Amino acid sequence: MLRYLKLYRSFIKNCLIREMEFRLNFFIRTIIYFVWASLAYAGIFIIYSHVNTIGNWDKEEMLLLVTVAGFANTIHKATLYPNVNEIPRYIREGKMDFVLSMPVDARFLVSTRYFKFEQIPRLLVYLLLLIKFTFDVNPHTNITTAILPLILILIGVFGMYCLLFTISCIVFWKPRIWNLFAIINEIENLADRPSDIFRGLLWFVVNLLPIAAFATIPTKFLLGEGNINLFFSSVLVVSVVFILSQMIWKWGLKRYESASS
Amino acid sequence: MRKTITILKTSLMEIFAEKEILLIWSLAEGIGLISVMVAWLASDQAVIGGYTKSELVSYYFIIYLFTQIIGWWVFWDVREAIMSGKLSNYLLKPFSFIRYLFIHEFSYKVINMVTNIVVGIIIMIAIKDYLVISIDPATILKLIPAILIGIGINFLTHFSFACVTFFWTESHFMADFHWIASMVLSGSMIPLSLFPKVLEKIIYLNPFRFTFSLPAELLFGKITGQEYISGLLVGSFWVLFFGFLSLIMWKVGLRKYSSFGS
């Protein structure tokens, strides 16, 4: 365990050095992230100037939901997403050979190699907004009541990572597909919307895949509407997706043929 | 003409080999589309910004279709050609790079149409109770120039933005800026009639409105005949403007362009 922590620390250090080499890039990318984030809020203000609620969610609750989704998304984009996004390239270009020959767990290596420091400013802004909007809708929030939603956000991020990891493994069977990130991004965007507005088949998709666990369930806890069933449903769904992702990863690895040799 | 047919054949074969990739793009757009529709249907108002809920669902479906027809996005092709030095190969060929690009993108749209029909039919079945589109021959005739203007603006804005690569290698940010502006100002994210009245003039005169919003407004009967004519005139102005800008960027850029070993 300690060895893996040391390895992760050295990956982070390496990424920091790399990102500092391209400071202008870092700066402009940060601006673009802020513009994207502002658009989500502008959209809510425009929509709610015409409607009162969307599926029983009023403007303040929706602002909190979008902030939770943004916060979770930023954690994901800083830590696990850039790695999952690279998996198709590893397989297509035969770089998986290198990964498999290392004396560490291959899934750990492909999931932790990159860390995006460019997400840190956005994360801090989302954290401040999260505190503001939480107190707007639930003034009685304190450290104790905020811990559980924060844990749920981390569980949701891990669940989303497992889902995207599973989708990325499609490349073991279809190595020519390089644009799976498009599906991945759209699935993440689904989390910006309250999971209870979906009906029928879509309700099952959103709740059985960890999309509701990503933002809606932690938001319900911040609103004071959480309960033990919701908590365990989140943990259960994420656990199932993790086991599934591990099975598909192992299955895919058996199928893997190096593209470089 | 023979050159055009040869480029068309080659491009069609190249793009057909990537049919799985096209299907992924279509699926991704389909997921995004459904989630937006569900959100609007869950709202508590019957009429929003002049659109009923059914009209809003239909509006997003139409925008999806128009994106497939009008969305001629060539930024990455131009950028890649300049960055990799492959542009030199095109410059030596007996046809212009812009002509190649146009035909290549056309071929992409043709092949992409097949995957979009599959995804489009699935979406249509899912939203059949809400679809309220009635098209008469006169509207189809009116749509043609609006669609051509939309294609022109998309193609030329992308081309001129991509020519920034001649001067600045980190030009991929230009694609982000284009994407953000297009999403907000073309009516793809939210119908333009929902924007605050104070922004009306900027919103209705901006070039991106003439890509997707103008044809959609026409289809849903949200503009009068006079507004349609003035829309075509302003849209044509933007086509000429970005055509001129592309020409200048291309000529100045080529003078600066150099490639080695390719």
Distance CA B140, CA B145 (A): 10
Longest dimension (CA), chain B: 63
The Cα of A55 is separated from the nearest Cα of chain B by a number of Å equal to 5
Q: Does A25 touch chain B (CB under 8 A)?
A: yes
Q: Does B254 touch chain A (CB under 8 A)?
A: no
Which of B21, B48, B170 lies at the smallest CB-CB distance from A177?
B21
Distance CA B207, CA A147 (A): 47
A residues 191-230 closer than 8 Å to B (CB): 193-194, 197-199, 202
Q: What is the mean pLDDT of chain B?
A: 89
B residues 43-102 closer than 8 Å to A (CB): 43-45, 48-49
Calculate mean pLDDT across residues A83-102. Answer: 85
Encoding tokens for residue B15? 């793009």
Residue A260: its pLDDT value, please? 55
Which of A28, A186, A197 lies at the smallest CB-CB distance from B28?
A186
Residue B259: its pLDDT value, please? 67
Does A39 sit within 8 Å of B183, measured CB to CB?
yes
Asked whether residue B62 carries a pLDDT value surpassing 70, the answer given is yes
Q: Does A106 touch chain B (CB under 8 A)?
A: no
Encoding tokens for residue A207? 């709740």
Asked whether residue A261 carries a pLDDT value surpassing 80, the answer given is no
Model pLDDT for residues B68-125, shown as the tens digit of each residue: 899 888 999 999 999 988 888 888 888 888 888 889 888 888 888 888 888 889 888 8
DSSP state of A113: S
In a domain, B261, yes or no: no
In a domain, B81, yes or no: yes
Which residues in chain B are closer than 8 Å to A51, comparing Cβ atoms? 43-45, 48
- Of B108, B133, B102, nearest in space to B219 by CA: B133
Q: By residue range, what is the domain housing residue B57?
A: 2-256
- Of A55, A242, A76, nearest in space to A153 by CA: A76
Number of CB atoms found within 10 A of residue A219's CB: 30
- Of B118, B23, B39, B125, nearest in space to A206 by CA: B39
Asked whether residue A135 carries a pLDDT value surpassing 60, the answer given is yes
Asked whether residue B47 carries a pLDDT value surpassing 80, the answer given is yes
Phi and psi, residue A211, nearest 5°: -85, -45
The total domain count for chain B is 1
Q: What are the start-end ranges of the H helices in chain B?
A: 2-16, 19-41, 53-70, 75-84, 87-92, 97-126, 137-162, 172-185, 200-205, 213-219, 225-256
Distance CA A70, CA B182 (A): 22
- Phi-psi sector, B227: left (phi>0), alpha (psi -120 to 50), beta: alpha
Residue B207: its pLDDT value, please? 95
Q: Does B190 touch chain A (CB under 8 A)?
A: yes
Residue A92: its pLDDT value, please? 80
Distance CA A48, CA A245 (A): 38
Which residues in chain B are closer than 8 Å to A28, comparing Cβ atoms? 170, 173
Number of CB atoms found within 10 A of residue B198's CB: 8
Asked whether residue A141 carries a pLDDT value surpassing 90, the answer given is no
Residue B260: its pLDDT value, please? 64
Which residues in chain B are closer than 8 Å to A36, comparing Cβ atoms? 180
In a domain, B262, yes or no: no
Does A43 sit within 8 Å of B189, measured CB to CB?
yes
In a domain, B119, yes or no: yes
Banded pLDDT at A259 (limits 50, 70, 90): low
In a domain, B55, yes or no: yes
Measured CA distances, B77 to A24, A110, B92, B105 (Å): 24, 29, 18, 10
Residue B66: its pLDDT value, please? 92
Residue A103: its pLDDT value, please? 87
Rounded to two decimals, the ipTM of the complex is 0.83
Percent of chain B with pLDDT over 70: 98
Q: Does A36 touch chain B (CB under 8 A)?
A: yes
Q: What is the mean pLDDT of chain A?
A: 89
C-beta of residue A70 within 8 angstroms of C-beta of residue A64: no
Distance CA A16, CA B21 (A): 33
Residue A48: its pLDDT value, please? 93
Model pLDDT for residues B129-159, shown as the tens digit of each residue: 888 887 889 899 999 999 999 999 999 999 9
In a domain, B187, yes or no: yes
Residue A148: its pLDDT value, please? 92
Percent of chain A with pLDDT over 90: 44
In a domain, B9, yes or no: yes
